[in-house]
């Protein structure tokens, strides 16, 4: 059985005191939830303080990106080892905002994936098509390109430790989520690709989150789909009330 995983991607929001407040509220309300795996991904500057709050609780800590080199003259970058040292168990890579604004490619995602796996941090690899790609019938081609190339060259065991987030770009921050049918269709296709790459047993074990305008009101119908194993949540993860409700609605 794949355990549902709900991850909050705070993006570039919350200074340190705001992060502490939000993490404390989430912990207070969700401390006894075991059925759902809960991850919060604050900005780099808040990771250390949030780790003090989530350490040894059921709330896991994640980062929003990393660099693939171990150390050195790479001004502004943060290594996987540094993320490990601050308590991160997860790290988002390949988010569409990074692909769109910061030159992220499947090749750079793949390098980050490998270094995270080596550091024993679970990668959350984002894939998904833009609106014009969907409109021109290229959704599956884009998903295949992202999945096959971002996830190239890893072992079956590493694949099972990796989480995939299907985030159609047109659904991110727009209030228009993919319908449950659209999400299931994409997730099923991703699982088929994983089966071709690593065999059916691996494909059945990998968790695939949906992301894009997920709210407390729509989470249930999404996770009831056979191949939807949770959500990567932006806007609705920034307020304790909505994130807590969203997690509780998965139970």
Q: Which residues have a catalytic role annotated?
A: 95, 167
Closest by Cα among 3, 241, 11 to 126: 11
**Residue 37 or 198 having the CB closest to ligand 13P:** 37
**Residue 38 or 202 having the CB closest to ligand 13P:** 38
Q: Which two tokens stand for residue 45?
A: 């500057």
With beta carbons less than 8 A apart as the criterion, state whether 246 and 219 touch: yes
- Run of H or E residues at 47: helix 47-54
| 235 binds ligand 13P per the rule CB under 6 A | yes
Evaluated on CA atoms 209, 191, 99, 94, the torsion sign reads positive
First-to-last alpha carbon distance for the chain, in angstroms, is 15
| 230 binds ligand 13P per the rule CB under 6 A | no
Helix axes 180-198, 139-150, angle to 10 degrees: 40
| 214 binds ligand 13P per the rule CB under 6 A | yes
| 234 binds ligand 13P per the rule CB under 6 A | yes
The C-alpha angle 25, 63, 39, rounded to 5 degrees, equals 45
**Residue 78 or 230 having the CB closest to ligand 13P:** 230
| 213 binds ligand 13P per the rule CB under 6 A | yes
**Residue 42 or 211 having the CB closest to ligand 13P:** 211
With beta carbons less than 8 A apart as the criterion, state whether 215 and 172 touch: no
| 123 binds ligand 13P per the rule CB under 6 A | no
| 233 binds ligand 13P per the rule CB under 6 A | yes
Site string for ligand 13P, 145-174 (x = CB under 6 A): ----------------------x----xx-
Which 78-107 residues touch ligand 13P, going by CB under 6 A? Answer: 95
| 128 binds ligand 13P per the rule CB under 6 A | no
Question: Binder to ligand 13P among 9, 54, 79, 106 (CB under 6 A)?
Answer: 9
With beta carbons less than 8 A apart as the criterion, state whether 209 and 232 touch: yes
Residue 118 CB neighbours (<10 A): 13
Residues of the shown chain interacting with ligand 13P in the complex, contacts defined by CB under 6 A? 9, 95, 167, 172-173, 211-214, 232-236
């Amino acid at each position: 059985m794949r355990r549902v995983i709900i991850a909050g991607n705070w993006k570039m929001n919350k200074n340190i005191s705001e992060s502490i407040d939000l993490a404390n509220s989430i912990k207070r309300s969700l401390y006894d939830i075991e059925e759902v795996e809960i991850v919060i991904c604050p900005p780099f500057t808040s990771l250390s303080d949030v780790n003090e709050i989530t350490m040894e609780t059921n709330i896991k800590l994640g980062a929003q990106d990393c660099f693939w080199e171990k150390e050195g003259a790479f001004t502004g970058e943060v290594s996987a080892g540094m993320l490990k040292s601050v308590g991160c168990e997860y790290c988002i890579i390949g988010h569409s905002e990074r692909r769109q604004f910061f030159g992220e490619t499947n090749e750079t995602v793949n390098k980050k994936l490998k270094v995270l796996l080596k550091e024993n941090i679970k990668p959350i690899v984002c894939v998904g098509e833009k609106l014009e790609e969907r409109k021109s019938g290229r959704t599956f081609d884009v998903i295949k390109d992202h999945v096959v190339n971002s996830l190239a060259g890893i072992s079956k065991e590493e694949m099972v430790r990796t989480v995939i987030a299907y985030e159609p770009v047109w659904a991110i921050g727009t209030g228009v989520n993919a319908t449950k049918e659209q999400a299931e269709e994409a997730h099923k296709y991703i699982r088929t690709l994983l089966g071709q790459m690593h065999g059916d047993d691996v494909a059945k074990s990998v968790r695939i989150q949906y992301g894009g305008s997920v709210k407390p009101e729509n989470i249930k119908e999404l996770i009831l789909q056979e191949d939807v194993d949770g959500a990567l949540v932006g806007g609705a993860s920034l307020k304790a009330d909505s994130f807590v409700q969203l997690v509780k609605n998965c139970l």
